[in-house]
Amino acid sequence: MVEAANVPHARRVLELGPGTGAFTHAIKDCLPRTANYLGIEMNERFVETLQQRFPGFDFAAAAAQEFDFDSYLPVGEAFDAIVSGLPWTAFPESLQKDILDHVMKRLVPGGCFATFAYWGFHKLPGGRHFCELLKRQPGRLRMTAVVWGNVPPAFVYVVQRDR
Ligand SMILES: C[S@@+](CC[C@H](N)C(=O)[O-])C[C@H]1O[C@@H](n2cnc3c(N)ncnc32)[C@H](O)[C@@H]1O
């Protein structure tokens, strides 16, 4: 996920739904020292734990589709990488669209959005709809190879925004 989103070369990273911090830990391991991190997580108890576990990282207890980016980002700034742990296929179609519409415009030209999908679930209606939304983003969509050792097997969708 972090390689697919090009986190090792990012100046500003956004994580959606960091939860208990599995991806956050991987991000911390490869994020450049001078880079900034923001995690948006709607579960306040997770946010409290994340703040203790990752000092120096910013966390907001908020819904990704509602977060006020203008009050967080310096004028003219956007994210180089967005890493998402959100359960997209479980979301209603309208929420998938609301979140993507809200966050993708905060990605710099050439920046990468990465999210995972469980193999098989991506063929269910919610998974197909999400993939269609990704195809409509202004950028190039690719899928990584399936990681069969993951339980359940999963792959990563990457959208690189047009420059
Ligand atoms: C599958 S879990 C995250 C897994 C994560 N990688 C971990 O290590 O725990 C999804 C997370 O997204 C959060 N979430 C769900 N909907 C959200 C939303 N609209 N905005 C922000 N966070 C959300 C949930 O509270 C949950 O913690």
pLDDT in tens, 127-155: 999 999 999 999 999 999 999 999 999 99
* Minimum-distance ligand 1 atom for the alpha carbon of 40: 21
The domain segmentation of the chain, as residue ranges, is: 7-161
Helix (H, G, I), strand (E, B) or coil at 33: coil
* Minimum-distance ligand 1 atom for the alpha carbon of 91: 16
This prediction's pTM:
0.97
Average pLDDT, the chain: 97
Say how far apart CA 110 and CA 97 lie, in whole Å.
Answer: 21
7-161: CATH number: 3.40.50.150
Helix (H, G, I), strand (E, B) or coil at 51: helix
Rounded average pLDDT over 94-121: 97
Which residue ranges have their beta carbon within 6 Å of ligand 1? Answer: 16-23, 40-43, 46, 63-65, 85-87
Say how far apart CA 117 and CA 122 lie, in whole Å.
Answer: 6
pLDDT of residue 20: 97
Asked if 113 and 107 touch (Cβ cutoff 8 Å), the reply is yes
Say how far apart CA 61 and CA 6 lie, in whole Å.
Answer: 25
